[in-house]
Amino acid sequence: MVPGLLFLIFFPFLMAVLTYYTKDERKRTALVIGGSIVIMAVDIIFVAGCYKQGTSDFPLTFVYRAHLADFFIMLCEVFLVGVVSYLSVKYKKYYCILLSLIGTVPVLVLDISKMISGSVPESEHILIDNITLIMCVIIGVVGGIICIYATGYLHDYHEHHTDVENRAPYFQALLFVFIGAMFGLVTSDNLSWIFFFWEITSVTSFLLIGYPRSEESVTNSFRALWMNLLGGCGFTFTILFCWYMYESENLSELLELGADMPGIIIPVVLLSFAALTKSAQMPFSRWLLGAMVAPTPSSALLHSATMVKAGVYLLIRLSPLMDGNLSGIMITTIGGFTFFASSLLAISVSDGKKVLAYSTISNLGLITACAGVGHTEAVWAAVMLLIFHAVSKSLMFLAVGAVENSTGSRDIEDMHGLIIKLPKLAFVMIVGICGMFLAPFGMLVAKWAALKAYLDSNNILLVVFLVFGSATTLFYWGKWLGKLFAYMHQSERLRGNVHKSEWGAIYPLTGLVIALCVLFPVVGRCLIQPELAYMFGEEIGAVINADDIRIMFMMLMMIAILPVMTWILSRRNREKMTMAYMAGVNAGDDRHYIDSFGGVRPLYLSNWYMDYFFGEGKILKPSLFIAAVFLVSIMILSIGGAL
């Protein structure tokens, strides 16, 4: 298994180098597509092999102590600090240099001192279990699909954004760097190794957000950088604390100490803080909103399917240590509040990518809250949410990017009647939206389990957040669906500007959303339940029972008519249609009306965004302030009480 894992980590970095130096677009496209297919194939073989070998023997651990590898990682950490320092000086953002040094130098000093003294114990640096395999599938399959999508997307992106320098080889190379780093992050058990890959994702995200090199993108990229570097400092202090207090350097060893170990809440709170920054939870959510200035593939890969999932992945790992203590209260409250507040904010915006950004923050908040509960049912819901959100939201980002390249706009209001104009894209967007909030698609199934877990834990506040947050979720997704299906007379199809490589990514993701809808009981029984049994040390029964599955199967049959509805509505209707009533002044084309002065005015149907009630100017800053005050207070109480 180790050769396959090493291939998955190092091959993407090799692909990044080859992609960067291949300037011919056709050759680079072939290289990216071929390399992505290889990554997906090896990833599937690796996961299947691990599952076949592990089954009842999970977790699979590998003792790996190579001083050369540790030395190489230290050199790479110095290189990352150099990159951050150079760009911080170039753009006069000196505070990022300080945060980078605070996060990296202590770990380097500790590693060097251990190597010199020879006090490095031989321990498992690699750990593979069910949740590792789930993350590997998401990273390899979804990541590979997004890389393929980027080949066609970037060509059209630069035709529409002539003010942005075409650095497609650089952008595509960074996507591969990110995939390799994520493979290393989720399979590492050593805290120093996890921290190294964690920092690569932070720096890579920073570089991708700043790709357009506009003033806005540079500002947003540095906001993302300093927030993630701040979280990295929490990771650094955890490494130091665990080594000097417990002589432990592995995450699994930290979990084995148990929630009753004196002082254990300190590393749990610090790691949770790092996870909150990475997953863009309030008060750190603004970095992900600003990241939407980057080209769509980075949003789909980093800020939907992988990077932000690294944070909630870590929280899921830590969940057994959060039950009934201040760290759990911190995570559940921040996660629940973020879910609710971000759902409200999503109502008030019409930019498609911004709606997806707020929706991403909101759903990450729900996963965070589930992890913080520390109960098996809640963690089951968290893992299920992680899986379905990664696939469905990636599909939505890719679809919005394709619509923007085809119509010149990503505003939801400009998607009016997309079912007629671009029926194929409308269909995949409908599937993606349904995957986010309708039964029996996985997001609602997981929310069902989350609600049950919240009730069992007697956490009324989380129940309130979930109920009202879900209501607002229904509102903004319903508005978007309504726009796709609405159409006027004489609506004409547009010639979609979607490349074959883009369809080659969009169709598989659409199929994955539908397949997961059918296969979620298998995923829950074969992957999630054994993982929970290992994490909590007890046998776990089915969270969703047979009666629930029968009800959801009936819902699935109802949703199966969606393709038929799409086909019917997208056909040219040759029957005579009655004009819409406009107080008796329809100009005759359903597009214009005659005003009281006899003038002809265009008709425009618009959603209600309630900006006055839930707009960013109304509730964003107060929400960030409330979250910040609570987070600081609970961290002081947790760490101060432990000391």
3-state helix, strand, coil in the chain (%, to 5): 75, 5, 20
What average pLDDT does range 67-77 have in this prediction? 84
Q: Which residues pair with 62 in a beta bridge?
A: 126
What does the longest C-alpha to C-alpha distance in the chain come to? 90
Both tokens of residue 164?
A: 């942005």
Q: Work out the mean pLDDT of the chain and round it to a whole number.
A: 84
Quick one: pLDDT at residue 58? Answer: 59
Q: Which residues pair with 18 in a beta bridge?
A: none
Quick one: pLDDT at residue 195? Answer: 93
What average pLDDT does range 114-143 have in this prediction? 81
Of 213-227, 526-540, 563-577, 619-633, the one with minimum mean pLDDT is 563-577
Q: Is the dihedral of CA 554, 559, 563, 565 positive or negative?
A: positive
Mapped onto helix, strand or coil, the DSSP state of residue 411 is strand
Write the CB contacts of 342 (distance below 8 Å, at least 6 apart in sequence): 282, 285, 358, 359, 361, 362, 365
Quick one: pLDDT at residue 177? Answer: 94
Report d(CA 147, CA 578) in Å as an integer.
47
Q: How sure is the predictor about 105, in pLDDT bands with cuts at 50, 70 and 90?
A: very high
Report d(CA 195, CA 204) in Å as an integer.
14
Report d(CA 425, CA 576) in Å as an integer.
27
Both tokens of residue 510?
A: 């659409």
Quick one: pLDDT at residue 407? Answer: 82
Q: Which of 224, 228, 235, 229 is nearest to 193 (CA)?
A: 235
CB burial of residue 215 (10 Å; 0-12, 13-18, 19+): exposed
Model pLDDT for residues 26-48, shown as the tens digit of each residue: 899 999 999 999 999 999 999 88
Report d(CA 280, CA 276) in Å as an integer.
6
Q: How sure is the predictor about 19, in pLDDT bands with cuts at 50, 70 and 90?
A: very high
Model pLDDT for residues 301-343, shown as the tens digit of each residue: 877 767 788 899 999 999 988 877 888 889 999 999 999 999 9
Quick one: pLDDT at residue 28? Answer: 92
Model pLDDT for residues 410-467, shown as the tens digit of each residue: 888 888 888 888 888 888 888 888 878 766 566 777 777 787 778 777 778 888 888 8
Q: How sure is the predictor about 489, in pLDDT bands with cuts at 50, 70 and 90?
A: low
Quick one: pLDDT at residue 519? Answer: 79
Quick one: pLDDT at residue 453? Answer: 78
Question: Is pLDDT of 490 > 60?
Answer: no
CA distances from 421 to 318, 406, 490, 527 (A): 47, 10, 11, 41
Write the CB contacts of 485 (distance below 8 Å, at least 6 apart in sequence): 419, 569
**pTM for the predicted model, two decimal places:** 0.90
Report d(CA 179, CA 533) in Å as an integer.
29
Question: Is pLDDT of 577 > 70?
Answer: no
What average pLDDT does range 567-585 have in this prediction? 57
What average pLDDT does range 497-508 have in this prediction? 84
